[in-house]
Structure 1
Amino acid sequence: MLVRDERSGGMRYVAYRVSPTRLTELTDDPLAVTAGLLGDLNTLAKHVGASYTQTTPPRTAAQKAEVQRRIDVAAARAKPWLATLDSPELKNLPLERLGNFTFDSLDLTVDRADQAQVALPVTLSFADDKTNSEYIDGDRYTLTVNLQRGAQGWAVQSWTLSPRKGELYED
């Protein structure tokens, strides 16, 4: 199970194993590593989206600078994940414009002692010059995360974003 933890002013996803009597936080586990990837991308998208929120009164220069500082910090945390992105059409993912990265569920499709795979539907989009709200519509993708266990523990070997076909809702 992944839990969204927003304590201490930050946000992260924490992986837990659920048993009838307790929750056990998972650390050296494929879901815990995947949670780091998801949390970093989701946090960045939230900061970028929030930069487009219309406030009354409008943000001061200092407030705008703080929003940009948060985006820069979140982008720096997310940037190392690009090294394992294996989607040629998105290889140059513009992190500074990531305006929507959301998901609702995930599936551990492979769970072996040395190899794992996590798959989940995500909504992904980017802010542009026309963006005027934190609500940025996105396109649907399947995110597949391939993980390998090595001497240092679990690590992401690659992750891909594949466009999903079909309409989510009928008109």
Structure 2
Amino acid sequence: MLDATEPAARGVAARHADVAFVRATRPEDAGFIRADLHRLAAEAGRDPDRLLVVADLSVDLGGGEVGAEPGAEIALLPDASGGVLFRGGPVDLADLIADWQRQAAVDGFHVRPVEPARDLERFVNGTAALLQHRGLFRSFHPGATLREHLDLHRPARPAARGVLS
């Protein structure tokens, strides 16, 4: 997994990564980066559909039933990582994910709860459950590894075959 937000990193991600993550506050920006990565992957002789692009997203699902700021927009965090923060309720987050999926902006999300003890439960029992109900999120994950869950091919590794140069 590589951060492919910056243009300089996209070539490496397009040639070598199975999963690239992006930091974007708008689906249009994420979709542009995704299209660029797929173009670069094709130019490198790879099947662009084998490169998954996920949005990196910190989530603050708040302390109340409706979340910190219902209907809030996502905005850049002021931290050194340059990450993106979503503040709102579980339903708001489900709507955002559904909207980005409808626009084919990304293939998925790397969700990082701001307060795991609170936000993980709200994500699983609120956001994920709602997305499953809408038919947008799987309720069963085949396989035992992340590679299998994401349907990623096993890389051809020269070291595994005993062929080192």
TM-score by length of 1: 0.28
Higher share in strand: 1
TM-score with structure 2 length normalisation? 0.29
